Amino acid sequence: MFCTGLAHSLFVASLKVLKARTTAVIFALEPVYGITIAWWLFNEQPTARMLVGGALIILASVITSRLKTPVVTNAATPLAKAAQVQEPR
């Protein structure tokens, strides 16, 4: 339980330094890390389903990391409202 708490605390702390998209990709690849480390440390043989699942996760991560986020400027957003100069009444 301590290791899980530590891992999630480090993940939340990393959000202060890294972009949300980067941390999401790292978090999404967690099953791939788990399979790889289990294979490396414990000599567990991954099944074909694990390999296909890992490949799909890696492919999805690569595709989403290459997509560009559209910039939306909407006057109804809170930041746009705060940036507007209010006229005195």
Average pLDDT, the chain: 81
Total number of domains constituting the chain: 1
Q: How far is it, in rounded angstroms, from Cα 9 to Cα 70? A: 30
Quote the tokens at residue 73.
């400027």
Indicate whether 74 belongs to any domain: no
pTM across the whole model: 0.60
Tell me whether residue 36 is in a domain.
Answer: yes
79: CB partners within 8 A, 6+ apart: none
Q: Is the model's pLDDT at 73 over the cut of 80?
A: no
Question: b/e per residue, 70-80, with b = 16+ CB within 10 A?
Answer: eeeeeeeeeee
* Segments forming the whole domain that contains residue 27: 2-68
Average of per-residue pLDDT across 2-10: 85
Instruction: Identify the pLDDT of residue 77.
Output: 59
pLDDT digit string (tens) for 29-69?
A: 889 999 999 999 999 999 999 999 999 999 998 888 787 76
Of the pLDDT bands very low, low, confident and very high (cuts 50, 70, 90), residue 25 is confident
Provide the pLDDT for residue 18: 87
